Structure 1
Amino acid sequence: MKRIKLISILLLFTSSVFAQTAPPADIATIEQGLKKLNVLGSVLYIAAHPDDENTRLLAYLAQEKHYRTGYLSLTRGDGGQNLIGNEQGELLGLIRTQELLAARRVDGAEQFFSRANDFGFSKGPGETLKIWDKEKVLSDVVWVIRKFRPDVIICRFPTTGEGGHGHHTASAILAQEAFAAAADPSRFPEQLKYVKVWQAKRLLWNTFSFGSINTTAADQFKINVGVYNPILGKGYGEMAAESRSNHKTQGFGSAKQRGDTYEYFKNILGDAPKTDLMDGVNTTWSRVEGGSAIGSEVEKIHKDFDVDHPEKSVSGLVNLLDKIEKVPDTYWKTQKTKELDELIAACAGLWCEAYSAEQTYAVGDQMNVLSQVINRYGLNISLKGLTLLQRPDNINSDPNSFIEPIANYNLPVTTKDKTIPANELQSYNNDCIASKISQPYWLEAAHDAGTYKLNYEGNAGNPENPDAPTIRFDFSIDGRSIVLDRNLMYKYVNPAKGEIYQPVEIAPAVTANVAGKDYIFSAKQSQNIEIDLKSFTKASGSISIKPIPGWTVSPDKIDFTNKNKGDEWAAVFTVTPTNSTPNTSVFETIVTANGKSSSLGIRRISYEHVPNITLFPPSQAKLIYLDLKTAGKKIGYIEGAGDLVPEALRQVGYEVHMLTESEIMNSDLSVYDAIITGVRAYNVNNRLAVEQPKLMDYVNNGGNLVVQYNNNNGILVNQIGPYPFRPVNQRVTDETAKVTVLDPQNPVLNYPNKINDADFDGWIQERGLYFVSDIDPKYQTPLQMNDPNEQPNKGSLIVTNYGKGRFVYTSLAFFRELPAGVPGAYRLFVNLLSNPKK
């Protein structure tokens, strides 16, 4: 049990392997593992977002220098844009989390996060740290440092603002403060029940040259990270491109770089390096008491390693366990024992995995688990037992008490070994109880704009749920205990792709998805709201709606009986506003199934480059009562990078048709009261260069074209509108910024809705982004706004008549505001779609 408790600490920082349950065991991996086993050094890289990390440097540190290397991204990138789909906010953060884990599987580093939420672009660290709740996020950085114990910490950005984004600068400020705080027992003393204070040797800034900003200098310490690794068959510039190209939601596919490339560093705190990043740090086994002999033995094993017979190294590696387990340094004992166990398994040809019979189970149901083991070289290996790992629910519990024996384990009692025969696949059927839904831990509780709320403080730092179902295999090799942990996965065969592994889902008994996200009431009339229910076990019960002041809901509840696993059905409630109705209310379901209540829906996200993502969001929708008039009915929509504007418009009664190129080029566009281009359409839709003349003809002949924002980089046409203007990297990030009306008589502010100051209340995240400048005088600029201490900006909305029609370009963040149910955003956007008849 002592070994089990020791190694279980590592579960806090392990990530699942996509498309397999066991780690690679090829000769290159073994060679790299033998080198890493003899290196006792660690480096932590700190920045703000997914994509901020220097993948080339991470790969070099992890794969060439063999340091334990980590990347702490303070946020999950929730506030960015999505170039491959329409997920925003928390959903985008989930995808980017998996993209970072995919990147780390390439470059060999580990991934960590704080509880900070990416609330969107910030122009300064003051705003960032206030919204984030600086002390909470700082505590997370200190927690990661104290657990990871880096010898060297590296920042991507400086505290002086050259990184541009306020999040970037804030990440450097927090890293500097955490460098000292992690070593101070008076800072966050509640952590010291589980970790010790830690002082890193130095904090460096990884200087950069981005565009017009060059912060490197010839006299700075530098490292050539462009070297070639013959074992891996690639250089670190090539590996970095493979890693970075996993950031697909950001369009960061990268070309492979080959040859010498230098990274530059400026010392911020601690002793400055002179000849090596680890100057003054002992990275050999001699850094720990009694470690010198271990280092010599590892060297000998590596020297004698036979690539044709890796099993010959097993005996020597097993003998190392005795020596490593006597090392008094708990941190390195834990880390190297874990590495050594996996290395022994790889050399021994020992493979094991555990997978479920089904992908989804309900909480409390029995999971059927098949565990498999093969001993490819016929060594003296026996299986002593299988264990289901679980963790406590709060930090006040013993963080090592993860262990519960697997239910109904069908081997003999665990004190009696079961010998694994040579090259014969052994299978063991087990039954486990599904104990907790597969909800990302940072989404378990409602949170504010700046930080996620953690129900269990010990989760800070983890990229994923550390308590995801995991099976521990306890082997005996030559009489020594070897412990291997394997995530429980669902495995199936796809006829086109072969064997596929995906995460196991544990769900509530019954989920309830409200069909729409927002329901707009522009009069005191009833609407029917459909709830789509799905059962994940045999269930009976009812669904009802939490009371909503100012609204009536009927019926009171709807019963269901004898639903089987997989059954889907719908329940419909009629909702009617009353005279006392507030502008916005929350419609929330309550499902009672088999005597237990929940208010959760289900959402699945699937992309080829990351594992399937499942979450259980609150079963809610917004009821929005507003004075909204519409003009026109039929809307054509040209897809851009992905947004939810079409769905929002359908909620208020528009018929939205997604236009194809053939329809744009060959059909009569005059049937559309307005045509809208999706966000970044002129960045991502290559065919718009061909379609643009047809769209201008549509406007000239009386149509109404509304173009949503585009990035200033990579615009695919020379001129988006009938007259010149230029998108630039200017924005108003304060969602409460004062909006001044410059042209009160402009039709976009009067028809069919009279826009007033109240229509700019309740906006989220930002007013707008990538405003326009160099605006031709033929355009009208009805609005003006600015962030604090900045000049007024007229570039959020421009309008012009062209021929018989109207052209509108808007940088206002309607793609965020409409899905969020912001009433004034609906009223203004409807006006943009409604060109008064002349």
Structure 2
Amino acid sequence: MKRFISLLTLLLSLQQVFAQTAPASSIANVEQDLKKLNVLGSVLYVAAHPDDENTRLLAYLAQERHYRTGYLSLTRGDGGQNLIGTEQAELLGAIRTQELLAARRTDGAEQFFSRANDFGFSKGPDETLKIWDREKVLSDVVWVIRNFRPDVMICRFPTTGEGGHGHHTSSAILAQEAFTAAADPKRFPEQLKYVQPWQVKRLLWNTFNFGSVNTTDPSQLKLDVGGYNPYLGKSYGEIAAESRSNHKTQGFGSARQRGQAFEYFKTILGDAPQTDLMDGINTGWKRVPGGNEIEANLSVISKTFDAANPQHSVAPLVKLLGMVEKVSDVYWRNQKATQLKNLIAECAGLWFESYCNAPAYAKGDNVDVSTQMIVRSDAPVTLTSVSYKGDADKADGHENLAPNILKTVNQNIKATELTQPYWLKYPHGMAMYNTGYLDSIGNEAQKTLPQNIPPAMQAVFTIAGKPITYNVPIQYKYVDPARGEIYQPIIVAPVVTANIVSKDYIFNTTQPQSVQVKLKAFTKASGSISLKPVNGWKVSPQSIAFSDKNKGDEWTAVFTVSPADGPITSILEAVVNANGEKSSLGFEQIHYEHIPTITLFPPAQAKLVNIDLKTAGKKIGYIAGAGDLVPDALQQIGYEVHQLTENEIVNDDLSKYDAIVTGVRAYNVNQRLAFEQPRLMEYVKNGGNLVVQYNNNVGVLVNPGPYPFSVVNQRVTDENAAVTFAEPSSPLLNYPNKITSKDFDGWIQERGLYFATNIDAKYSAPLLMNDPGEAPNKGSLITTDYGKGRFVYTSLAFFRELPAGVPGAYRLFINLLSNPKK
């Protein structure tokens, strides 16, 4: 039982652990938090992806009704597209995780995930639940329910398919199964060491009216969530827009909405509500033993609260905390005690933070940490102790804090664990992340959380005679000349990291290639770098030594790799031996201003691919779209790739380019292409070769081809779907590489997306493909001669396949770039 209580205490206090500094202390926050203290209700919203959540409803539930409100997204959105950069797969998932956290900081809800990986678009739940480990994802949903203990669960989507995406429907199916399983002690009994079974009162479906699909009905329960919150100075439609606009990788900037707005609900399981989501549920203090006295005291505190002197409420709040800490209901005791502690700090004007003086450290290094605090009132506050992980032997403190005098406590701690996102620590497949969380209680507590539990100092203050403990996350703080004071997560890295410069090395001759490895020291280091032997491949030298490298030093080691005989794909891995420890991890950072810097330590690996590859032409002009890595892939195999500007498109001689390629979704995101299009058509007419990669069907600025065709939301999601050569003699399938069915082996995530339809007869379509049970689709690749040149439009997912080193994708894409001389 002690272990169960300690874990629950940790989980319930995580909202504060993730706080940047002390709780915000504006009078509006205090007034809101006083209202939240009086509400003992919780709602969990469940869907599949970042952006699926109803931010207006979440804001209303959290800020108007004051329920503890959570959003469980089964995935981190890893399989989508990125409108602001080139990150894909788990890197995109890491960004979208932080975008969701930014959204939750805006609307006031909390965020959770399962281990499910977003493997891309799925046409139905049968495919989704076959690819995911259904039982493991269900166990994660049950784990969240048993921890969060929602009174009400709400699904964004139904089980009947109106949500379209197979992940959407699967989220509703799993929510229904978890509704029952969470209350059953025979289901996932291993969890009962830490949590208890929980029966949710009801499961509702938040029906919707999206485009042509309207699932709302006047007979359904409806709530007006369009109200205005005077404490926040915003309506819930305004808050929702600000929350949703954090989804920048998806281009979901939203207009603020004001005025009446209804949400509709259909009962799926449990008692059907008649007038309100919480019908039949006691959401006041009377739901717990001893709650009447707490409610009476809280009522007095609220009525006597003096906005000009909030410190006058500190002593009554401290007395109330003592009463709450005696509540027998562990869940609400810990939840409300955490809220009360924050409220006491707000009213006392108690501010604190912990920071280090460098952004990064090596594992095992000593870290100098400064913990600062100030009391901006005359409330009686004494610093009792400051320590790391509650280590009493290394605690400093025992000092009265004078009003408005900044106090700093300097300490030294040891960096013990890499700050790799926990779900990326272990290798994983396309379906599920391997969180490895059963090896310790710390990891057990961490699973389903949005990010790592950060290292924190433990500050104990005696306030109005009572010791109160706060966990203060340790961060790196610095001043940017343009942006001012910036907080970033602390980085704990291997002693030396190794990044192989290219993700793929494509060999199409017997000639060796140079492989560069960029190394970075995070502390003073000596040692060596080597590449693991790979069967059939020759690597020299065996290792390269380094010595006396200082923290922050970066240098490059160069190896020569000669290819194995015949077509083969192998994995090359770099191994660093530094200061007596081995590591095979790289160093990668993702920087965007709207989220904290993300630091990862990916495997120090690259793919070696020896294929029969012929090329024609040399110079490629590239027009950027929403962001992809195709230019890097083309440069890797020897093409000269130049990123074209509008001035060059309009005024330069484009005939010097053997092909011009548009990046993915270029005609969706680059408004200037509508004006540049005549020049591109002139380039084709005069003998050029224009290759247009996929665009979606929303907001195509101009038809990219010389003859009409349309783009629709049709896909082939099965990466192993059979491909038929409808026109075997097409140059696209023969020059300079003879394309066969083997060239479609080993594709990842999907064949293609947003296929062409309503195709003019002047186009030829050399390929046919389809998902199981569907008719053959000819829209993945179309081409036509126009004047002396050639136009190609392709919906094939080259933007995924080329960075992944798929041999056949390289051979086919080179054919698209290579127009035979007539």
- Measured against aligned partners, the alpha-carbon deviations of 1:202-234 in whole angstroms (never above 9, x if no partner) come to 000000000000000000001100011111111
- Measured against aligned partners, the alpha-carbon deviations of 1:604-650 in whole angstroms (never above 9, x if no partner) come to 00001001110000000000000000000000000000000000000
Equivalent position SS for 1:699: helix
Match 1:440 to one of 393, 411, 421: 421
Q: Tell me, in whole angstroms, the C-alpha distance in 2 between the residues paired with 1:303 and 1:649.
A: 69
Alignment partner, residue 780 of structure 2: 796
Equivalent position SS for 2:71: strand
CA contact (8 A) 2:45 2:53 kept: yes
Q: How does 1:288-299 map to 2 (within 5 A)?
A: 288-299=288-299
Alignment partner, residue 436 of structure 2: 455
Task: After the TM superposition, list the runs of 4 or more consecutive aligned residues in structure 1 that deviate by more than 3 angstroms.
Answer: 1-7, 11-15
Q: Give the C-alpha shift of residue 76 in structure 1.
A: 0.3
Q: Tell me, in whole angstroms, the C-alpha distance in 2 between the residues paired with 1:4 and 1:297.
A: 28
CA contact (8 A) 1:350 1:373 kept: yes
Q: Tell me, in whole angstroms, the C-alpha distance in 2 between the residues paired with 1:132 and 1:32.
A: 41
TM-score by length of 1: 0.96
Q: Give the C-alpha shift of residue 15 in structure 1.
A: 6.4
Q: Give the C-alpha shift of residue 6 in structure 1.
A: 6.8
Q: Give the C-alpha shift of residue 13 in structure 1.
A: 6.0
Q: Tell me, in whole angstroms, the C-alpha distance in 2 between the residues paired with 1:444 and 1:178.
A: 27
CA contact (8 A) 1:12 1:462 kept: no
Aligned-partner residue type, residue 481 of structure 1: P
Q: Give the C-alpha shift of residue 155 in structure 1.
A: 0.2
Q: Tell me, in whole angstroms, the C-alpha distance in 2 between the residues paired with 1:27 and 1:790.
A: 60
CA contact (8 A) 1:638 1:677 kept: yes
Aligned-partner residue type, residue 433 of structure 2: Y
CA contact (8 A) 1:35 1:66 kept: yes
Q: How does 1:340-351 map to 2 (within 5 A)?
A: 340-351=340-351
Aligned-partner residue type, residue 97 of structure 1: T
Q: Tell me, in whole angstroms, the C-alpha distance in 2 between the residues paired with 1:283 and 1:120.
A: 40
Query: Cα 1:14–1:548, aligned 2, differ >3 Å: closer, same or farther?
Result: farther
Q: How does 1:417-816 map to 2 (within 5 A)?
A: 417-457=398-438, 458=444, 459-466=446-453, 468-579=454-565, 583-717=568-702, 719-816=703-800
Alignment partner, residue 137 of structure 2: 137
CA contact (8 A) 1:725 1:772 kept: yes
2:101 pairs with 1:101: yes
Q: Tell me, in whole angstroms, the C-alpha distance in 2 between the residues paired with 1:817 and 1:436.
A: 34
Alignment partner, residue 441 of structure 2: none
Query: Cα 1:554–1:170, aligned 2, differ >3 Å: closer, same or farther?
Result: same
Q: Give the C-alpha shift of residue 408 in structure 1.
A: 4.8
Query: Cα 1:582–1:835, aligned 2, differ >3 Å: closer, same or farther?
Result: closer
2:22 pairs with 1:10: no
Q: Tell me, in whole angstroms, the C-alpha distance in 2 between the residues paired with 1:471 and 1:140.
A: 29
Q: Tell me, in whole angstroms, the C-alpha distance in 1 between the residues paired with 2:144 and 2:466.
A: 32
Q: Tell me, in whole angstroms, the C-alpha distance in 1 between the residues paired with 2:417 and 2:61.
A: 37
Between 1:81-90 and 1:372-381, the stretch displaced more is: 372-381
Q: Tell me, in whole angstroms, the C-alpha distance in 2 between the residues paired with 1:801 and 1:537.
A: 59
Equivalent position SS for 2:206: strand
Q: Give the C-alpha shift of residue 199 in structure 1.
A: 0.2
Aligned-partner residue type, residue 492 of structure 1: Y
Q: Give the C-alpha shift of residue 496 in structure 1.
A: 1.7
2:121 pairs with 1:117: no
CA contact (8 A) 1:7 1:338 kept: no
Alignment partner, residue 396 of structure 1: none
CA contact (8 A) 1:408 1:431 kept: no
Alignment partner, residue 238 of structure 2: 238
Q: Tell me, in whole angstroms, the C-alpha distance in 1 between the residues paired with 2:76 and 2:17.
A: 15
CA RMSD of aligned residues (A): 1.3
Query: Cα 1:63–1:819, aligned 2, differ >3 Å: closer, same or farther?
Result: same
Equivalent position SS for 1:127: helix
Q: Tell me, in whole angstroms, the C-alpha distance in 2 between the residues paired with 1:5 and 1:765.
A: 37
CA contact (8 A) 2:384 2:399 kept: yes
- Measured against aligned partners, the alpha-carbon deviations of 1:256-297 in whole angstroms (never above 9, x if no partner) come to 110010000000000001111101110000100111110111
TM-score by length of 2: 0.98
Q: Tell me, in whole angstroms, the C-alpha distance in 1 between the residues paired with 2:312 and 2:379.
A: 10
CA contact (8 A) 1:40 1:283 kept: yes
Q: Tell me, in whole angstroms, the C-alpha distance in 1 between the residues paired with 2:148 and 2:324.
A: 19
CA contact (8 A) 2:477 2:486 kept: yes
Alignment partner, residue 87 of structure 1: 87
Between 1:770-779 and 1:292-301, the stretch displaced more is: 292-301
Q: Give the C-alpha shift of residue 14 in structure 1.
A: 5.8
Unaligned 5+ runs, structure 2: 439-443
Q: Tell me, in whole angstroms, the C-alpha distance in 1 between the residues paired with 2:410 and 2:17.
A: 25
Q: Give the C-alpha shift of residue 21 in structure 1.
A: 2.3
Q: Tell me, in whole angstroms, the C-alpha distance in 1 between the residues paired with 2:370 and 2:359.
A: 13
Equivalent position SS for 1:488: strand
Q: Tell me, in whole angstroms, the C-alpha distance in 1 between the residues paired with 2:321 and 2:790.
A: 76
Q: Tell me, in whole angstroms, the C-alpha distance in 2 between the residues paired with 1:382 and 1:429.
A: 17
Aligned-partner residue type, residue 81 of structure 1: Q
CA contact (8 A) 1:728 1:772 kept: yes
Q: Give the C-alpha shift of residue 472 in structure 1.
A: 1.8
Between 1:457-466 and 1:93-102, the stretch displaced more is: 457-466
CA contact (8 A) 2:17 2:456 kept: no
Q: How does 1:216-235 map to 2 (within 5 A)?
A: 216-235=216-235
Query: Cα 1:14–1:626, aligned 2, differ >3 Å: closer, same or farther?
Result: farther
- Measured against aligned partners, the alpha-carbon deviations of 1:359-378 in whole angstroms (never above 9, x if no partner) come to 10000000010000101113
Q: Give the C-alpha shift of residue 437 in structure 1.
A: 0.8
Q: Give the C-alpha shift of residue 484 in structure 1.
A: 1.6
Equivalent position SS for 2:254: coil
Aligned-partner residue type, residue 509 of structure 1: V
Q: Give the C-alpha shift of residue 384 in structure 1.
A: 1.4
Q: How does 1:257-272 map to 2 (within 5 A)?
A: 257-272=257-272
CA contact (8 A) 1:15 1:464 kept: no
Q: Give the C-alpha shift of residue 529 in structure 1.
A: 0.1
Q: Tell me, in whole angstroms, the C-alpha distance in 2 between the residues paired with 1:45 and 1:14.
A: 21
Aligned-partner residue type, residue 49 of structure 1: H
Q: Give the C-alpha shift of residue 4 in structure 1.
A: 8.1
Aligned-partner residue type, residue 509 of structure 2: A
Q: Give the C-alpha shift of residue 551 in structure 1.
A: 0.5
Unaligned 5+ runs, structure 1: 390-402
Q: Give the C-alpha shift of residue 485 in structure 1.
A: 1.7
Q: Give the C-alpha shift of residue 404 in structure 1.
A: 4.1
Q: Tell me, in whole angstroms, the C-alpha distance in 2 between the residues paired with 1:802 and 1:818.
A: 28
CA contact (8 A) 2:506 2:611 kept: yes
Q: Give the C-alpha shift of residue 299 in structure 1.
A: 1.4
Q: How does 1:393-412 map to 2 (within 5 A)?
A: 403-405=390-392, 408-409=394-395, 411=396
Between 1:731-740 and 1:473-482, the stretch displaced more is: 473-482
Q: Tell me, in whole angstroms, the C-alpha distance in 1 between the residues paired with 2:359 and 2:23.
A: 21
- Measured against aligned partners, the alpha-carbon deviations of 1:683-703 in whole angstroms (never above 9, x if no partner) come to 000100010000000000000
Number of residue pairs aligned between Structure 1 and Structure 2: 814
CA contact (8 A) 1:15 1:101 kept: no
Aligned-partner residue type, residue 714 of structure 2: Q
CA contact (8 A) 1:470 1:488 kept: yes
Q: Give the C-alpha shift of residue 667 in structure 1.
A: 0.3
Aligned-partner residue type, residue 307 of structure 1: A
Equivalent position SS for 2:170: helix
CA contact (8 A) 1:437 1:508 kept: yes
Alignment partner, residue 817 of structure 2: 833
Alignment partner, residue 281 of structure 1: 281
Alignment partner, residue 159 of structure 1: 159
CA contact (8 A) 1:550 1:582 kept: no
Q: Give the C-alpha shift of residue 385 in structure 1.
A: 1.4
Same amino acid, percent of matched pairs: 67
Q: Give the C-alpha shift of residue 388 in structure 1.
A: 2.3
Alignment partner, residue 256 of structure 2: 256
Q: Tell me, in whole angstroms, the C-alpha distance in 1 between the residues paired with 2:418 and 2:184.
A: 37
Q: Tell me, in whole angstroms, the C-alpha distance in 2 between the residues paired with 1:14 and 1:54.
A: 24
